[in-house]
Amino acid sequence: MLLAFPILLPLLTAIVLQLLPHRPKLLRLVAFAGALGILIAAIVILVRVESRGIQVLQIGSWPAPFGITLVADLFSALLLLMVGILGSVITGHSFSGVDPRREAFGYHALIHVLLMGVAGAFLTGDIFNLYVWFEVMLIASFVLMSLHRTRPQLQGALTYVGLNLLASAFLLTAIGLLYGQAGTLNFADLARAWPERRTAALDATLSMLFLTAFGIKAGLFPLFFWLPASYHTPPAAVGALLAGLLTKVGVYAMIRVFTLLFPDPSGRMYALVLVLSVTTMVVGLIGAIGQGDFRRVLSFNLVGHIGFTTIGLALGTPAALAASMLYMLHHMLVITSLFLISGWFLRQRRTTELSALGGLYRTQPGVALLAMVPIFSLAGVPPLSGFIGKLAVITAALSGEHYWVAAIALSVSLLTVLSMGRLWDAAFWKPAPTPSAPRLRPAIIAPVGALVVLTLVLTVFAGPAFDLSKRAAVQLLNVDAYVRAVMGNRG
């Protein structure tokens, strides 16, 4: 029953939010409380998985593979924890004010529908169910993106909607072909049945279809172009939530499906994933250098660093997967706080164009120093969490004797330092072009503060966190244990 809470809680919260009278303070409070509930459920699940192994819930008591199964292993539980954390931070951010027109049209309920979709995608043990959660989360994000209907938002939303629907069509095609050959949709049952039924041609087709579908959603080169074309348009809190959670769902789905269905790490497909990951890093960060908008710099950085999270899958060793997981946790915290910081400038200067920003270090040095943590953490400046994550990825590449990967990852880190340094200079250090700007209030700083504290916690406790992700990686690669946990004795 426990596993259903992260899905049921946001659903109930969304329904309650729609029924409540339209009083902003009340709505914000209920939304925040609901998100805290998800966080608590996620912590309980993580503790339970850590102490008792993989947790399984057969919905309606239908035994797998006939019903829908919810499964939480350490990887799922860790990401679920991030859903709780980011959900709480984003709903907490709305106390600093939400555009009244958005609030009137169900902004808070939509945030919870989005959280439900993401939590469902992380928990499900059924590939068609995964598709359904993808759609839930996409529809919520479509509406969140286009609610206000200013021209840039509509233009951004159009690109976003078109490409994501294309990805969904690819995913559904792959699922249909997979079912036709394997006769089952349950992940565990697939992992058991697929090795006997796979044919080389279908294997290649399916892995390419899954790679395309999840690659579009995750933002891998050459499929990422929708992301920087749209993520700079929604309100800061929505952008932060999309950046922090949605692309990671694509990465998660890729890792889950590939480790279960295509567990042969010497396959050509993994070589392709490796090349794509590395190209994503290079193209993303070169793209970031030429941008003149705070959020577009972030979008390209988001794309670039997705490469670090898929390298683990491509290298296929437990150490590499663990490094990618650690990097993923760090990146979710940091990129969310950076998108929230872009909201400061929207509030202060009404735009995030770098040419219009500046001077924050002079007017509010404490706030600027707070922002320095995520900026330098993303850049990978020691001793912050980004440095530790990058170090882990590069060490894993070196121990796998992929020296060129390590070399490129290092030079990409340099590019990140360059682009983050530029961001810091343009937004905080250089004199402001227009002198008068309202001071930032604590309500809008606090959510970033919370994320900064968590980033520092991840930095200080990087050792235990890395151990945890190492165990998660070992569990992820142990397909037999997953199958036994889900299928019981019939496995």
Binding site for other proteins (CB under 8 A): 101, 128, 132, 135, 138-139, 142-143, 146, 148-159, 161-162, 165-166, 168-169, 172-173, 175-177, 179-181, 185, 229-230, 232-233, 292-293, 296, 346, 350-353
Write down the least CB distance from residue 173 to other proteins, Å: 5
- Give phi and psi for 70, each to the nearest 5: -105, 135
Write down the least CB distance from residue 452 to other proteins, Å: 25
- Tell me which residue of 417, 414, 390, 409 sits closest to 281, measured CA to CA: 409
Our CB check for other proteins shows the closer of 73 and 293 to be 293
Q: Give the distance between the most distant pair of CA atoms in the chain.
A: 71
Write down the least CB distance from residue 346 to other proteins, Å: 6
Residues 358, 361: Cα–Cα separation, whole Å: 8
Write down the least CB distance from residue 148 to other proteins, Å: 6
Read off the DSSP letter of residue 182: H
Our CB check for other proteins shows the closer of 209 and 412 to be 209
What is the residue whose two structure tokens read 């290649």? 204
Write down the least CB distance from residue 178 to other proteins, Å: 9
- Which H or E run contains 70? strand 69-72
Strand partners, 55: 72
Our CB check for other proteins shows the closer of 176 and 382 to be 176
Write down the least CB distance from residue 438 to other proteins, Å: 13
Our CB check for other proteins shows the closer of 202 and 456 to be 202
Q: Please, what's the b/e burial string for 126-145 (b: 16 or more CB within 10 A of its CB; e: otherwise)?
A: bbbbbbebbbbbbbbbbbbb
Write down the least CB distance from residue 140 to other proteins, Å: 11
- Tell me which residue of 273, 384, 388 sits closest to 327, measured CA to CA: 388
Our CB check for other proteins shows the closer of 3 and 356 to be 356
Our CB check for other proteins shows the closer of 99 and 264 to be 99
Our CB check for other proteins shows the closer of 169 and 369 to be 169
Write down the least CB distance from residue 143 to other proteins, Å: 7
Question: CA–CA distance from 231 to each of 157, 170, 337, 420 (Å)?
Answer: 9, 22, 14, 18
Our CB check for other proteins shows the closer of 99 and 467 to be 99
Write down the least CB distance from residue 145 to other proteins, Å: 9
183 φ/ψ sector (left φ>0, alpha ψ -120 to 50, else beta): left
Our CB check for other proteins shows the closer of 8 and 165 to be 165
Read off the DSSP letter of residue 441: P
Report whether 347 contacts 440 (CB < 8 A): yes
| Tokens describing residue 366 | 């404490």
Read off the DSSP letter of residue 242: I
- Which H or E run contains 147? none
Distance of CA 254 to the CA centre of its chain: 12
List CB contacts of 203: < 8 A, sequence separation 6 or more: 262
| Tokens describing residue 414 | 């340099």
Our CB check for other proteins shows the closer of 347 and 430 to be 347
- Tell me which residue of 88, 425, 307 sits closest to 80, measured CA to CA: 88
* 3-state secondary structure (DSSP) of residue 437: coil
Our CB check for other proteins shows the closer of 112 and 295 to be 295
Write down the least CB distance from residue 355 to other proteins, Å: 10
Write down the least CB distance from residue 112 to other proteins, Å: 18
- Give phi and psi for 56, each to the nearest 5: -130, 140
Residues 235, 26: Cα–Cα separation, whole Å: 21
